[in-house]
Amino acid sequence: MAPKNTTYSDRGGYSARAVHAKGKKQFSRYDTSAIDPKQGKSKGPLIAVIVAVVALVLIIGLAVSFCSSNPNRVADGQEVEITFSNGSTAAEFGDKLTEAGLINNTQDFMGAVQRRDVGTQLKPGTYVFVGGMSVDAIIDDLVAGPGIANHALVIPEGNTIDKTAEAVAAAYNGTITADEFKAQAHNADQFKEEFPFVAGAYDNSLEGFLFPKTYEIVDGYTAQDVIKQMLAQFNTEVENLNYSYAEDHGLTPYQALILASVVEREAASDNQKEVASVFYNRLGIDMPLQSDATTAYVVGGDPTPDDLKVDGPFNTYLNKGLPAGPICSPGLSCIEAVLDPAQTNYYYFVFYPNDNGGMDYFFNETYEGHQQAIADHAN
């Protein structure tokens, strides 16, 4: 049987989300393993598909960003006050940030807004930013709003330990450093007596448990204190949830958290239950999840075709089942989506950036339908 090229969309939080399946002119395709979802196990050579690629437009944008940094960038640590008017578009937010010397260019900002699907969540008002802040940290503040962002610790859904450490260091003005926070967050055992649910976490890491929320900044707090804040919040959020669906499908609470973290990085806010159903359906027939997001977690960005050929505990192309641990801290809605997913026969989905700074998703039950969805949006 001739091998099939199956295109599987992944990544809700990286730019792969914005570039997936834009057509053969903007994609490189390569094979891994193939599975016929209708048969559960393949009858012949298994060939899967991965569209791991970057759209030509984004490649150009990244190249421009790399080659031409903003000559007006402010010095690290310099405070900049900036006001965004009511009705500002995401592009206008980016333009003002560029003019203020806080980011390199609007393209970078728009790429980050699209991959995070927050184009309609940026709030107008007056902010105080600090030179050296990452684009993601700036977006975190813009989503939180001016009254909150400047007086609280804001941890958005989908943050990794590294991103959370940056946010903590910024909120506490360096009295807690990012390195101090990360060192404590990678020593889960010290918290297991007070918070038993972290016992046995992969690699002794609190990845996934640092609950995304807005926290009070408390004078004198240490990195351990802030982590305890987050673990206590995690416990409050999940202690009354019903895990029966996940358990009936062979998942422990920790594995449900792992799956929720993948859904967090793959889904948009309005289709988390559908994305969860795709992964449950794949797990149910022993089909690889084929999520670029899990490999992106390891390599720190969009994985290349070669990255996806490197075996490891987070490679869900080469390994069936869940990754070894969470890849971010999911929000409550993604955890709930995993505990009560949509009931579908979907095995595939693909998404494309729309004109509103978000993503349009297309779900399919069959490989053929999935390929048709890709063909329909090839140009």
Provide the residue ranges of all domains of the chain, joining segments of one domain with +: 16-60+241-376, 161-236
Strands 29-31 and 49-51: antiparallel
pLDDT in tens, 238-252: 999 999 999 999 999
Q: Which amino acid is at 129?
A: F
pLDDT at position 129, please?
A: 85
Q: What's the whole-model pTM score?
A: 0.68
Q: Residue 170, CB half-sphere, CA atoms under 13 Å: how many? A: 29
From residue 47, give the alpha-carbon distance in Å to each of 36, 102, 216, 298, 307.
Answer: 9, 45, 50, 24, 17
Measured distance between the N- and C-terminal CA atoms of the chain, rounded to whole angstroms: 29
d(CA 286, CA 248): 16
pLDDT at position 149, please?
A: 59
From the list 170, 173, 169, the residue with the least C-alpha distance to 184 is 169
pLDDT at position 223, please?
A: 98
The CA R_g of the chain, rounded to the nearest whole Å, is: 21
DSSP result, 81-131? EEEE-TT--HHHHHHHHHHTTSSS-HHHHHHHHHHHT-TT-PPPEEEEEET
Instruction: Find where tokens 């395709």 sit.
Output: 29
Instruction: Find where tokens 């569209």 sit.
Output: 51
Tens-digit pLDDT string for the chain (379 aa)? 222 222 223 333 333 333 222 222 222 222 222 334 333 433 333 333 333 333 433 343 434 434 446 888 888 768 788 999 998 999 999 999 999 999 999 998 998 899 888 988 999 999 988 887 888 889 988 998 886 656 688 898 999 999 999 999 988 988 999 999 999 999 999 999 999 999 999 999 999 999 998 888 898 999 999 999 999 999 999 999 999 999 999 999 999 999 999 999 999 888 999 999 999 999 999 999 999 999 999 999 889 999 999 999 999 999 999 999 999 999 999 999 999 999 999 999 998 888 777 789 999 999 999 999 999 887 6
For the chain, the 3-state helix, strand and coil shares in percent, each to the nearest 5, are 40, 10, 50
Say whether 74 sits in a helix, a strand or coil: coil
pLDDT at position 371, please?
A: 94
Q: Residue 115, CB half-sphere, CA atoms under 13 Å: how many? A: 25
pLDDT in tens, 64-111: 434 446 888 888 768 788 999 998 999 999 999 999 999 999 998 998
pLDDT at position 80, please?
A: 87
